[in-house]
Amino acid sequence: MLKAALLYLSKARWARRIVTRWSFARRAARRFVAGDTLDEGIAAVRALNDSGLNVTLDHLGENVTDQADARRAAEDYLVLIDRICDTGVRANVSLKLTQLGLNLGPDTCLDNLRRVVAKARECDGFVRIDIEDSPTIDRTFETYRALRKEGSDNVGVALQSYLFRSQDDARDLTAAGARIRLVKGAYSEPPHLAFARKRDVDANFDSLAALMIDAAVAAGGEPVSRDGRIPPRTALATHDPARIEAARAHAERARLPKTALEFQMLYGIRRDLQDSLAAEGYPVRVYVPFGTEWYPYYVRRLAERPANVWFFVSNFFRR
């Protein structure tokens, strides 16, 4: 019930107007968001790199409603990629296609994404397409496949283990050599599309992770790039120790090298686990969001764990 309410609020414009006016809410969000500016994002990358961790940077934004905003989002990513190249930090970028105009038409989004991917290619960079809610998924994969058909191989996608369809999607994408980030899923979906029980989502995550690992072994177990920008084929985004242990055990049985299995985690969550996996020789990539459009991202983080809600409420009464 609480999760459903928070996921509703993450999209509610009236709630966004209220909450973003509260200074304490912005301070609380800084636990999960590196800051408002690119400089703050790069500073967070440097600190993580110094600790042996790679990064994917997300300039927050989604669901734009006009062409100008979509073009502006693409321009922001071009600037971001230039900064990554100029500074030499170990980072790539993640983005949402609704931020680049997916809901304004396929051509708008594809044109904007094409520019971002081409810019990343100039300095051997990589672009990860985040997965969003179910009404966007087919269009997301169509856009991804269109770029791959044009010859862009520095772009990857994500899959959500709470969706029934993800088994079929994983088989199709691994057969095509896609670089996949597997997540559990953070949107509200109807019961005919998604697992409702956590144990079923977890079981599907383990099954999908095994499928991806086996595909990586069959492809030769390509490792993460030396500069930390290009991820391996298999990236598992989870803070759940049981999911991590299941994936590690399967990878060991399948003889997938540690350097070909990347674990991804969110900025501000389980830094201890990030450090311990990196110390064991696994590539670890931290998802670092920044920007002023923090509200929907932050509320989805609150929906994921009750402890996050308590963190927010305690800050409310301290303001």
Active site residue 202: no
- Give the helix, strand, coil percentages of the chain, each rounded to 5: 55, 15, 30
**Residue 160: strand, helix, or coil:** strand
HSE on the CB side for 25, CA within 13 Å? 17
What's the one-letter identity of residue 245? E
Positive or negative torsion for Cα 37, 41, 42, 46: positive
User: By the 8 A CB rule, do 289 and 9 touch?
Assistant: no
Q: In whole angstroms, what is the distance from residue 188 CA to residue 205 CA? A: 18
Active site residue 165: no
114, 179, 181, 243: which is the annotated catalytic residue? 181
90, 114, 128, 130: which is the annotated catalytic residue? 130
Torsion (CA) 34, 202, 140, 289 in degrees, nearest 10 = 0
Say which DSSP state 230 is in. S
Residues identified as active-site: 130, 181
